[in-house]
Structure 1
Amino acid sequence: MELSTVQLVTILISAYAAFLSTAVFAWNIYNARSERGKIRIHASYGYLVGGGGSSDVQLIFEFTNVGKKPVQFTNFGGVFYKRYVRDGKWAFVITTRGIPLKLEPGDRHFEYFDNTRIVDERVKDIMAYDSLGNKYRLSRKLLKRLKSEVKSL
């Protein structure tokens, strides 16, 4: 079976169109994922100076929207290692007055805690959640450093 020139051109055009539409579809998926809001968590120990605050060491969490879209920051908490789980309670929520809140791109939000026991050897992960249910984890390296620092306090 031989193809005429018209049929061959038709097949080449349809193959090119199929390839191009697949590439555009993949590009749109990539852009949709990269342009959303994203929360980066940083934590450290420090002191609050001025304002009549406590002179004790504080655990300070910084939440930054490093994405290109606003994000609704709804929840903040963590997960325990399985060996410390009792009565099925494997997760915890840290309640604060400042959460939930909307973080615009580039916005930062700080939370200060007198209780440095939030980070101890039982904690496996510390996470923030947005209104879509996405999880944003504190880096394991930083969590490990915080755990070692809390022992020296």
Structure 2
Amino acid sequence: MTSTTTRAAGLPAEHRHRLMRTAREVSFDAGTRLFEEGRRADRFWIIRTGTVTLDLHVPGRRAAVIQSLGPGELVGWSWHFPPYTWHLGAEAMSPVRAWEFDADAVRAMCAQDAEFGRAIAVWVGNVVADRLHASRIRLLDLYAPYGSGSLI
């Protein structure tokens, strides 16, 4: 988990509190699909407890698990960028409790308050960068002849 991708580290307190006022508590059983790649991204979550995996559709193969997310992490960033469709899939790997947010409502809040919108954009941008890096490393590990080449 990268600190800039968590709710606490990713947003200044004022904006975090404002965002959290729109949250609703939800739970998912292990094995529940939160979303599928290519479908409409109309909400997002911050994990309270449990683990969610992100996966990538690989034609002719099982979906490749790209990253596991835990407490405090944002699940879903595709809601923030047109055309608002999921770029990955997500599944609860254990029972999950989370805060759920309506994407339309949060985008409207961003449009009404430029400072809030910038804070959300920076936070989501950091998450996208983290996910891109994780995806690259994982795909190299899965498909490159010598893995990621990491010495660690």
TM (normalized to structure 1)?
0.28
- Going by fraction, where is helix more abundant, 1 or 2? 2
Structure richer in strand, relative to its length: 1
TM-score normalised by L of structure 2: 0.28
With a CA cutoff of 8 Å and minimum separation of 6, indicate the structure with the bigger relative contact order.
Answer: 2
